[in-house]
């Protein structure tokens, strides 16, 4: 269906332009839906609380070690070795038979199995090579036994360093902010657009004196405002509860938020520009979001993936956004951290909006 010709300027000025009125209509529609307000503003706070409690700062867990009494030294050697290892308060040592110890290692209830030798030394270490806790437990046991055999060996001083931005919750909050921006763009723009198409509302809009770009921009602008309010609430909550703050340039941080919100709003429009059913757009959004949830460093660093995949991961918009937000929030960076993330987000946003404007259909 062809678009209506561009309408003449309204005598009342810019307040009555199609873009402004469509944006205001989105505001009214959103705030009249309590469920939408909860999922946009309430649920992210609940998620932050749950994850903050789960990954709160805790003392270092004790290393768990099982000593087998069926080794060459028998039960006596096992008890003697247990006594030596228990001198370190960081080790949780118990004597367990072979079958019990192997089951505990298999189910991650212990980190290391020690088979004592006849002379009170260690005959064998048994550990799971896929769990780093096993190597840590082996090194801890070796260190304790070595120091007991060489009592004059000097012990280095140990000093705890609690650097700002070093907690897991400091890593997590920027990832949640990036995820909220992505979800707001795809669900708040893409899903809403297809829902309006399914309800035949878009066919009514096409008969009004507006341009296609006015309608699409109104969806992006309204969602951007909603998302900025959401991010401010999340940042305020993180500051009050977890003492998380923006340690770098605040204007650079705000610029990253605006670029990220605009980018994912453009992605959401592209996803929804042709979809005709809710099932279709839901599948497309999941296909876009799930890879970035996993690859883009939301809950753990993207550096964990193989080096061959890093060039692809680095050009994903959520990766660029998360890296930029963490650089400003945790590392205290300023405008110098923005060029690459800004380039990636701008390229994705402009390309997606241009394609959505080209291929968008009203029904």
pLDDT digits (tens, 9 = 90+) for 73-82: 778 888 888 8
pLDDT digits (tens, 9 = 90+) for 275-332: 888 888 888 888 888 899 899 888 888 888 888 999 999 999 999 999 999 999 888 8
CA distance 197 to 276: 7
What is 63-149's CATH topology? D-Maltodextrin-Binding Protein; domain 2 (3.40.190)
DSSP structure class, residue 159: -
Residue 55: which pLDDT band, with cuts at 50, 70 and 90?
low
CA distance 185 to 328: 22
pLDDT digits (tens, 9 = 90+) for 9-30: 454 454 557 777 777 777 777 6
CA distance 282 to 288: 10
CA distance 66 to 71: 12
Q: In this model, does residue 72 exceed pLDDT 80?
A: no
Sign of the torsion angle spanned by Cα atoms 97, 103, 105, 107: negative
The full set of domain ranges for the chain reads 18-55+164-359, 63-149
Asked whether the beta carbons of 317 and 345 are under 8 A apart, the reply is yes
């Amino acid at each position: 269906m062809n678009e209506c010709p561009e309408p003449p300027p309204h005598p009342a000025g810019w307040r009555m332009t199609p873009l402004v009125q469509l944006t205001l209509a989105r505001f009214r529609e959103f705030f009249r839906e309590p469920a939408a307000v909860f999922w946009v503003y309430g649920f992210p706070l609940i998620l932050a609380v749950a994850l903050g409690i789960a990954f709160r700062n805790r003392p270092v867990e004790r290393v768990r070690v099982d000593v087998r009494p069926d080794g060459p030294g028998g039960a006596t050697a096992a008890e003697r070795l247990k006594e030596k290892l228990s001198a370190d308060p960081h080790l949780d040592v118990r004597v367990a038979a072979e079958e019990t110890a192997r089951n505990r290692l298999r189910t991650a209830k212990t980190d290391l199995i020690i088979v004592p030798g006849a002379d009170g030394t260690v005959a064998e270490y048994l550990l799971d090579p896929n769990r780093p806790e096993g190597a840590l437990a082996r090194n801890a046991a070796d260190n304790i036994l070595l120091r007991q055999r060489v009592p004059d060996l000097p012990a280095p001083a140990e000093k705890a360093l609690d650097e700002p931005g070093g907690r897991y919750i400091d890593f997590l909050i920027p990832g949640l902010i990036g995820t909220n921006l992505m979800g707001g763009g795809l669900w708040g723009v893409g899903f809403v657009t297809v829902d309006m198409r399914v309800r035949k509302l878009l066919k009514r809009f096409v008969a009004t004196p507006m341009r296609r770009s006015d309608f699409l921009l109104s969806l992006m602008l309204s969602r951007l405002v909603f998302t900025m309010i959401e991010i401010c609430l999340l940042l305020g909550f993180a500051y009050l509860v977890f003492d998380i703050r923006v340690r770098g340039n605040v204007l650079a941080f705000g610029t990253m938020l605006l670029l990220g919100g605009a980018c994912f709003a453009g992605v959401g429009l592209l996803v929804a520009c042709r979809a005709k059913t809710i099932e279709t757009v839901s599948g497309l959004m999941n296909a876009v979001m799930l890879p970035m949830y996993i690859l883009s460093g939301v809950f753990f660093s993207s550096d964990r993936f193989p080096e061959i995949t890093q060039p692809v991961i680095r050009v994903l918009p959520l990766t660029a956004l998360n890296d930029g937000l963490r650089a400003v929030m945790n590392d205290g960076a300023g405008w110098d951290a923005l060029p690459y993330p800004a380039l990636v987000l701008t390229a994705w946003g402009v390309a997606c909006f241009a394609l959505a404007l080209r291929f968008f259909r009203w029904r």
